[in-house]
Amino acid sequence: MKRVVQWTIKALTAFDWPLFALLILMAVLGLVVMHSAVGGTDWRFADQLRNFMIAFVFMWIAAMIPPPTLMRLAPYFYVIGVVLLLGVEFFGETSKGATRWLNLGVARIQPSEMLKISVPLMLAWYFHRNQGSLRILDFFVAGVLLAVPFTLIVMQPDLGTALLVFVSGFCVIYFGGLSFKLLVPIAVLVVAGVCTLVYFEGHICRPDVDWVVLHEYQKYRVCTLLDPSSDPLGKGFHTIQSMIAVGSGGVYGKGYMLGTQSHLDFIPERTTDFIFAVFAEEFGLYGGIMLLVLYALLVVRGLAIAARAHTQFGRLLAGSMSMMFFIYVFVNVGMVTGILPVVGVPLPFMSYGGTALLTLGAACGILMSISRYRPVRQ
């Protein structure tokens, strides 16, 4: 009986309650919006409820694992993830023109999702191991550790997931001590590239122009972002309809389950990538701001956990997990409102899908583990 009580106390204290309260609120809100997006409680709503329950279990398990154990397991998670990505490259299953899945017999998995966690784990382990004696070579090695899975995911192709993996890993490198001065030339090149793209849009977006580094559909996504009206019934349909839905919501919204764009099937992928358009149409500007405030509180809580972490590993990992949430929201809302190209990034705790929810649940569990960890003083 005593052991049961001790285990129960340990299980309850595994949670970071401010973070847990935010997650419960967002899960309820996500299910409410999903109910509207699917028009009732059909199989997709039931599946999403099941996905939330499984994600909660993953979060709880991750919260119970102390950071020293995560640090010891980090290299193994990274190697397994890269091996699975190589398996996708040679033995993967193709669906809708992309080879992203691997059939293990008992389950069909998408290994790239695993790298969203294992890459920052590995890099945090690497910088923790070399803290106090960092050299330029160490940042080069970290760059290689990040570039390998990023390249393999881009080759699938899955630019959205590759972007998330890159950002979560890059945040660890930056928080690990990368000089801000080194980023200034990169930022200048990016701005110059975007300006050039906008200026020569009429020439480089012609069908006979090959962008070489991007697939054809990725080229059209960028060109559609620059001018959605160039193909309003084809490549630009997603962006145009989502922007109409967001704008038609106005300040106060049309009301719950009263969104015409979504319920008349004008919004494509309304349960996944474009669910924010459903939310904005029904709850308006005020509702959208409220949702973004909730996400901001989630990121701020994660950064607060990072600031109070007792080890370099914990600080880097918590900071990376927090910024991963930010990038999820920034990219998804950006593509729905037409300021970023459509790259297939879900909205955390809102979009339908099991794999992404498991990843987010594990990330939240890691934050909770870092929050409650207190090193034993010798």
Q: Report pLDDT digits (tens) over 333-357.
A: 988 888 887 777 888 998 887 788 8
Say if strands 93-95 and 108-109 run parallel, antiparallel, or are unpaired.
unpaired
Angle of the 2-12 helix axis to the 43-64 helix axis, nearest 10: 110
Residues 259-286, mean pLDDT to the nearest whole number: 84
Provide the CA 47 distance to its chain's centre, in angstroms: 20
- Domain membership of residue 281 (yes or no) is yes
CB–CB of 82/34 below 8 Å?
A: no
CB–CB of 126/135 below 8 Å?
A: no
Looking at the predicted structure, is the pLDDT value of residue 331 above 50? Answer: yes
What lies within 8 Å, CB to CB, of 158 at 6+ separation is: 98, 100, 112, 344
Question: What's the sign of the alpha-carbon dihedral 303, 305, 308, 314?
Answer: negative
- Nearest CA among 342, 249, 340, 344 for reference residue 290: 249
Q: What is the pLDDT of residue 9?
A: 57
DSSP assigned state of 267 = S
Q: What is the pLDDT of residues 301-319, one digit of tens each?
A: 999 999 998 889 999 999 9
Burial readout 314-348 (b: 16 or more C-beta within 10 A, e: otherwise): bbbbbbbbbbbbbbbbbbbbbbbbbebbbbbbbbb
- Domain membership of residue 1 (yes or no) is no
Looking at the predicted structure, is the pLDDT value of residue 8 above 70? Answer: no
Q: What is the pLDDT of residue 294?
A: 94
- Domain membership of residue 364 (yes or no) is yes
Is pLDDT larger for residue 1 or for residue 45? 45
CB–CB of 337/241 below 8 Å?
A: no
Number of domains, the chain: 1
- Domain membership of residue 11 (yes or no) is no
Q: What is the pLDDT of residues 195-204, one digit of tens each?
A: 777 666 666 7
Q: What is the pLDDT of residue 134?
A: 76
Residues 231-248, mean pLDDT to the nearest whole number: 76
- Domain membership of residue 378 (yes or no) is no
- Domain membership of residue 257 (yes or no) is yes
**From the CB of residue 285, how many other CB atoms can be counted at a distance below 10 Å?**
14
Q: pLDDT averaged over the chain?
A: 83
- Nearest CA among 82, 107, 77, 30 for reference residue 275: 30
Q: What is the pLDDT of residue 378?
A: 46
- Domain membership of residue 6 (yes or no) is no
Is pLDDT larger for residue 210 or for residue 51? 51
For 344-369, the DSSP string reads: -PPPTTTS--HHHHHHHHHHHHHHHH
Which amino acid makes up residue 44? R
Q: What is the pLDDT of residues 45-92, one digit of tens each?
A: 888 888 899 999 999 999 988 999 999 999 999 999 999 888 888 877
Helix (H, G, I), strand (E, B) or coil at 133: coil
Parent domain of 248: 17-372
- Nearest CA among 104, 107, 108 for reference residue 95: 108
Is pLDDT larger for residue 15 or for residue 139? 139
Q: What is the pLDDT of residue 99?
A: 73
Q: What is the pLDDT of residues 124-177, one digit of tens each?
A: 999 988 877 778 888 889 999 999 999 888 887 787 888 889 988 999 998 888
- Examine residue 157 and say whether the peptide bond preceding it is cis (omega within 30 degrees of 0): yes
The count of residues in the chain is 378
- Domain membership of residue 8 (yes or no) is no
